[in-house]
Chains A and B, each alone.
Chain A
Amino acid sequence: MSSKQKYTQGIWSVITASSVGTLIEWYDFYIFGSLATIIASQFFPEDKGSSALLSTLAIFAAGFIVRPFGALVFGRLGDMVGRKYTFLLTLVLMGGSTFCIGLIPGYKSIGVAAPLLVLLLRLIQGLALGGEYGGAATYVAEHAPIERRGFFTSWIQTTATLGLFVSLGIILTTRNTLGVEAFNEWGWRIPFLVSSLLVIVSIYIRMKMEESPLFTKLKKEGKTSSNPLKESFTKKDNLKMVLLALFGAVMGQGVIWYTGQFYAQSFIENVCKIDFAQSRTILLWAIAFATPFFVFFGGLSDKVGRKWIMMLGMLLGILSYRSIYQYFLDHSSDKNKTEIVAQTTVERKATLIESSGDSLVKTITLRHFTDGAHFKETVTDTFYVAKASLGVKPLKKMEKVLGDGDYWMFIFLVFFQVLLVTMVYGPIAAFLVELFPTKIRYTSMSLPYHIGNGVFGGLVPFISTLIIEYTKTAENPAGTPLAGLWYPMAVATVCLIIGSLYLSNEVDHNVRDDENVYIHPHHDNHHA
């Protein structure tokens, strides 16, 4: 076997080992989000006491907020001890905490200990993810040939999307196999427990890997950093690059990513009221079609530079989001559809509540439309014996199933958004790796990455929903559904301006490892 063949085989082993582990970490992180509603009902009480506060903390914030801290803790470790053992540790922590979430008894069994345990494990998940990505990207980049760094690191980039794909697939399969009731009761634990099998396989693969060659060389020469945190964030030359990476690239990339993959799903399900299964299959198809483009744009960035591909992704997002989400609204509404009135069915069922004498009346209206769509509205109302109880609003639930034409158009529009994600996210690992020298790379690249993605990106669904809530008035009780897009569009716009003006499109082949070289963001070090 020639040395070239051996090298090619070696780099693919490195990519496989790194990617499988990272994919599992993303899978673990996503199943919690995808099952948030069920988790809330299992682990938190229905009243609004102190545990409700914990539920807010756990579900809304914890996993995202601690990611930058994980980046600092494990980044430091990775720059001091090595990449291999650090991201092996993050994998064990992530897999272990995910498995344990699947085992925690519900609130009804152990009371407030249940949400506390979930919160603790969710914090560990966030910390582990904060440490994982930087390690995997650095590890692959340090093995890759310099002229193909974008291509090889882009395989790591596919894992975040594939992790979501696998998590949705396993959740849907389990739900369809067990049925909705059994899934909500105990079946939701299966995706958490399955994680342990995946983690064991991944640990086995990673154990057989060797340390990164660049890090090994530094270690042999005694040039590793004794205090990577201090070097990364107190030395101006590094700190200014950390800030530039965050504000000129990663914060925009983060909002484009979370808008395309998470806010899109949340909007389609919660605002457009598309039913549970269809809203998930829309995302699944879109991801399946778009995922190869991570590698395409990663490879392209080796040839034309990273900067303009990422900036174009942001620009297209800013220009297209409002039209795309307006389309979602228009085509999930009955205003633009023709109802087949003859096929409309109304089913009413009353149940007597023996203890009070009140009646629970459930009315299900099923409407069909000429384009193949059908909307199901379930209204649950209580008829009270005591007149004083009158005036309680009935509970309404709408589930819409789109016709084929709209369904595929929705898939295309989500695909387009994920395509933009591949443009901004495909080249970002190579871009970050090339900003920082080997000895502090794990620490320096992890922090802006996780602030950009965990904070700016991770908060997109929450902040956008909050903005919509604040547009609701007595005159306009539904609010302005598109108002939520202002947050990602504003962040992406600022990032686009900064990135376009301040970033260089040149690729730094030396990654600033020569300490005598003047550190400058705008040219290759080999010029210096």
Chain B
Amino acid sequence: MNTLKRLLGFVWLLTGPAILVYLLMEASKKIALPTSTSNDVLQWSIIIGIFCPIALGFMLFGYYSLKGEYDLDPEFHPK
């Protein structure tokens, strides 16, 4: 279980920047559309502004997970 958690930590660590890149690409694509308005720019700015710190938090969660901070302590969970 601990190995799985640490491996997944790596996944979470990579997911954070992946989400950010995806959002930035989507935003630039949608804003570039000829039909886009100033509201589109505002909405995407808000979405990116909100999810940036969350993605960073997710990376940190992944980092802690990778480092074994969430490992089960065998002393308290004997088989």
Say which size band chain B's interface belongs to: 20 to 34
Q: A296 an interface residue at 8 Å Cβ cutoff?
A: no
Nearest residue (CB) in B for A451 is B54
Per the 8 Å Cβ criterion, residues 56-79 of B in contact with A are: 57-58, 60-61, 64-65, 69-70, 72-73, 76-77
Known A243-B61, A501-B8: A523·B76 in contact at CB below 8 Å: yes
**Contact indicator A244/B46 (Cβ below 8 Å):** no
Q: In the complex, how many angstroms separate the beta carbon of A469 from the nearest chain B beta carbon?
A: 10
Per the 8 Å Cβ criterion, residues 335-387 of A in contact with B are: none
Residues of B within 8 A of A101 (CB): none
Q: What 0/1 readout, one digit per residue, does chain B (37-68) give for beta carbons within 8 Å of chain A?
A: 11100110011001000100110110011000
Q: A52 an interface residue at 8 Å Cβ cutoff?
A: yes
**Contact indicator A502/B57 (Cβ below 8 Å):** no
Please measure, in the bound complex, the distance between the C-alpha atom of A48 and the C-alpha atom of B8, giving whole angstroms: 47
Please measure, in the bound complex, the distance between the C-alpha atom of A26 and the C-alpha atom of B58, giving whole angstroms: 29
**Contact indicator A470/B46 (Cβ below 8 Å):** no
Residues of B within 8 A of A470 (CB): 30
Known A451-B54, A470-B30: A244·B42 in contact at CB below 8 Å: no
Please measure, in the bound complex, the distance between the C-alpha atom of A295 and the C-alpha atom of B57, giving whole angstroms: 32
Please measure, in the bound complex, the distance between the C-alpha atom of A371 and the C-alpha atom of B8, giving whole angstroms: 52
**Contact indicator B46/A523 (Cβ below 8 Å):** no
**Contact indicator B54/A455 (Cβ below 8 Å):** yes
The count of chain A contact residues (Cβ–Cβ below 8 Å) is: 31
Per the 8 Å Cβ criterion, residues 97-152 of A in contact with B are: none
Residues of A within 8 A of B43 (CB): 56, 60, 466
**Contact indicator A52/B65 (Cβ below 8 Å):** no
Residues of A within 8 A of B30 (CB): 470
Name B50's contact: one of A240, A455, A502 (CB within 8 Å): A455
Known A520-B76, A522-B76: A53·B42 in contact at CB below 8 Å: yes
Residues of B within 8 A of A466 (CB): 43
**Contact indicator A240/B69 (Cβ below 8 Å):** yes
Q: Is the interface of A mostly helix, strand, loop or mixed?
A: helix
**Contact indicator B73/A522 (Cβ below 8 Å):** yes
Q: In the complex, how many angstroms separate the beta carbon of B31 from the nearest chain A beta carbon?
A: 13
**Contact indicator A502/B39 (Cβ below 8 Å):** no
Q: In the complex, how many angstroms separate the beta carbon of B38 from the nearest chain A beta carbon?
A: 6
Known A57-B42, A60-B43, A246-B57: A236·B69 in contact at CB below 8 Å: yes
**Contact indicator A502/B60 (Cβ below 8 Å):** no
**Contact indicator B46/A61 (Cβ below 8 Å):** yes
Please measure, in the bound complex, the distance between the C-alpha atom of A56 and the C-alpha atom of B46, giving whole angstroms: 11
**Contact indicator A65/B50 (Cβ below 8 Å):** yes
**Contact indicator A52/B64 (Cβ below 8 Å):** no
Q: What 0/1 readout, one digit per residue, does chain A (223-255) give for beta carbons within 8 Å of chain B?
A: 000000000000010011001101100000000
Q: A479 an interface residue at 8 Å Cβ cutoff?
A: no
Please measure, in the bound complex, the distance between the C-alpha atom of A62 and the C-alpha atom of B42, giving whole angstroms: 13
Per the 8 Å Cβ criterion, residues 452-497 of A in contact with B are: 455, 459, 463, 466, 470, 497
**Contact indicator B64/A243 (Cβ below 8 Å):** yes
**Contact indicator B8/A243 (Cβ below 8 Å):** no
Q: A527 an interface residue at 8 Å Cβ cutoff?
A: yes
Residues of B within 8 A of A522 (CB): 70, 72-73, 76-77
Residues of A within 8 A of B65 (CB): 502
Residues of B within 8 A of A57 (CB): 42, 46
Question: Lowest 4 A-B CB distances belong to which pairs?
Answer: A523-B76, A243-B61, A240-B64, A502-B70
- If A240-B61, A244-B70 are given as contacts, then 10 extra A-B residue pairs at C-beta distance below 8 Å, sorted by A number, are A52-B39, A56-B42, A65-B50, A236-B64, A239-B60, A240-B69, A243-B57, A243-B64, A451-B54, A520-B76
24 pairs of residues in contact across A and B, judged by CB atoms under 8 Å? A48-B37, A52-B39, A53-B38, A53-B42, A56-B42, A56-B43, A57-B46, A60-B43, A61-B46, A65-B50, A236-B69, A240-B61, A243-B64, A247-B12, A247-B61, A451-B54, A459-B47, A463-B47, A497-B8, A501-B5, A501-B8, A502-B70, A520-B73, A522-B72
